[in-house]
Amino acid sequence: MVARYFYPVNPDLPLEGPIDENEFICGPNDLFTLSIGGIAPQQQLIPATADGNLLIPGIDPIRVTGKTLYAVKREAEASLRRIVGNHPIELALSQPRSFLIPVIGGTPAPGMQVISPVLATTRVASVVSKAINGENELQKKLNYGFRPSIRTIEVRRKNGNTLYPDLARFFTTGDLKYNPMLQEGDMIFIPSFDFTNEVINVQGYVPYPGTYPIRPDDTLLDLLTIASGTNGLNKLGDVRLTRFGENSVAEHQVFNVPDLLARKGSNPKLKPRDLIFIPHRFRDNGSVYVEGEVNYPGPYPMSTERTTLRDLINNAGGLRESAFPKSAFLERTKNQSEVNSPFIIPNYINPLNKENIALTGERGRLTDLDYAGRVFLERELMINHSRIAINLAEALKPDAPDVYLYDGDRLFIARDQRKVLVIGEVVKRGLVDVMPNQNVDAYLAAAGGRGALATFVYVIKAGSGHLVDGYKATIESGDIVFVNRKDSIVDTPDLQALQFQRRSAHLQRIGTFVTAISTAVSITATIIYLTRN
């Protein structure tokens, strides 16, 4: 993110243009050229002394330190005029001096930055870029979760004043007010910020969407200005501000930008984790949500009707190192009954849920589990049929088919807890630590062993949802070990109905058998009677 802010700034550009004599502050070692005369003037190079004076023969020393170039030139010309009369006089700055700028705070390369003669008119962005992207032998890395903030930089002046540049605003608008020139004696402090909780997220139909560190005085118009660039505010209409309150409950407000610019409405002050969404003025394609182990969780607008899973992950800043991609799932509350959907569901999505069919259904059969086993497994898993399990590790591969999202979809990505869930006919159901290179017996032992009615052992693989023989599976984090049981336990309405059906069928078979025997006996008796007579 930081590199994006600075590209394509080049800190080695000599000068951004002619020096502004009303802005440049003179100091020791600045080199001046004094020219006196007309067609063939006399010229002399005069450096400012180490104590900050300009020594010109014939006049008193001129104090230059802390004065603008304009003031030094006017003072020198006025003093020389008294001894050279009406001859032309010109004092020019030939070469700015070098000086040091200390850079401290949230940077991997703290220390003194040398402002060379060709960079003496440099601005804050060049020095901060070197400090953030450079290296030195004292380099320190910020703790995970923190980044250097280029929006809340402090330039602490020697006279006690402090400037607060906003380089993100400068890079998108070009306003030099937010990228001031540096002076000798300045100190730059670069704060660090929590890139999850001290940010504003701007998404939607603007040139520069993204996640920006928050400034204490930020308003809605400030962030819209950064995200829309020069004159971009005039192109905006309604925008939506989403704020997450207690228990992550989202509150939405809609603001009309023309009204805010005309001061017809209140320009709200922003809070950390606010989300600003700028819809296309002619269409809003809806939103999708991502929660859990991504860098910037929250709602994101759909750019088109065919927004993909990759789009959502990229907008959310990618997965955190602690993410468990195999455990991800989509919760879909809309469009569940689409039968002619153009959206492709790849084969690495769990077939158990994609058709919203229960395990007890005929098409929900996973392997050779009988009906009672499927009922038992379904009750154990407490399956939510609006969920679509996704293996993100597979879904985000470059050659993987796109997974298309619907408006209202919610993606959940859990933290990898390095656990295996053991359920079914065991003594102690629950989570067990992953044990590398161990077979299923080790996990059963950790769960207290098999129950009295235990039969076969299965492993449900994380991500794919495939049910495999427990003794043929390599058990990994997120897998589920399921121990089936004998079907003699009747503790659900489904099993009671199944038992009643089985008993009825059994009695019917007995009745048929008895009837057949009775018929056979009658026929035999008749034959014996006829043969005797």
Tell me, what's the pLDDT at 525?
A: 57
**Tokens representing residue 31 in the block:** 């080199």
| Cα 438 to Cα 413, 433, 444, 449, distances in angstroms | 27, 11, 11, 15
| Sheet bearing 298-301, strands edge to edge | 298-301, 287-292, 410-413, 329-331, 387-389
Collapsing DSSP to helix, strand or coil, 34 comes out as strand
Q: Identify the sign of the CA torsion 359, 363, 367, 373.
A: positive
Give yes or no for a contact between 213 and 198, defined as CB atoms under 8 angstroms apart.
yes
Terminal CA-to-CA distance of the chain, rounded, Å?
Answer: 110
Per-residue pLDDT at 503: 56
Task: Identify whether the C-beta of residue 407 lies closer than 8 Å to the C-beta of residue 524.
Answer: no
Sign of CA dihedral 37, 42, 45, 48: negative
Place of tokens 């670069």: 190
The pLDDT of residue 422 is 93
- Could you tell me which of 418, 413, 420 has the C-alpha nearest to residue 441? 420
C-beta of residue 215 within 8 angstroms of C-beta of residue 152: yes
Integer Cα distance of 52 and 85 in angstroms: 27
Looking at the DSSP assignment, which residues form a beta bridge with residue 301? 287
Alpha carbons 138 and 109: distance in angstroms, whole number = 7
> What letter does residue 461 receive in the DSSP assignment?
P
The pLDDT of residue 133 is: 74
Residue 253, both tokens: 């407000």
Q: Which residues pair with 194 in a beta bridge?
A: 146
Six-digit token pair at 186?
């300045």
Contacts of 501 (CB under 8 A, 6+ apart): none
**Which 8-state DSSP code applies to residue 447?**
T
The SS3 call for residue 200 is: strand
Q: Tell me the C-alpha distance between 180 and 164, whole Å.
A: 9
- Backbone angles phi and psi of 510, in degrees to 5: -65, -45
CA dihedral angle for residue 342, residue 346, residue 349, residue 355, rounded to 10 degrees: 40
pTM reported for the whole predicted model: 0.49
Could you tell me the two tokens for 267?
């320009």
Neighbour-count burial of 53, counting CB atoms closer than 10 A to its CB (0-12 exposed, 13-18 middle, 19+ buried): middle
Q: What is the pLDDT along the chain (533 residues), one digit of tens a residue?
A: 333 333 333 334 345 556 778 888 888 888 999 998 877 788 889 999 989 999 998 889 999 988 999 999 999 999 998 888 888 888 998 888 877 888 888 777 777 877 664 444 578 888 888 788 766 555 566 777 788 899 999 999 988 999 999 999 999 988 989 998 888 788 999 998 888 889 999 998 889 998 999 999 999 999 999 999 888 888 899 999 999 877 767 888 999 999 999 888 899 999 999 999 998 765 567 788 898 888 888 888 886 657 888 888 888 888 888 888 877 888 887 655 443 333 333 333 343 443 334 445 544 444 566 666 766 666 665 544 567 777 788 888 888 888 888 888 889 888 888 889 999 899 998 899 999 889 999 999 999 999 888 899 999 887 667 788 989 888 888 889 999 988 655 555 555 555 555 556 555 655 555 555 555 556 555 555 555 55
d(CA 158, CA 102): 12
The pLDDT, as a whole number, for residue 395 is 86
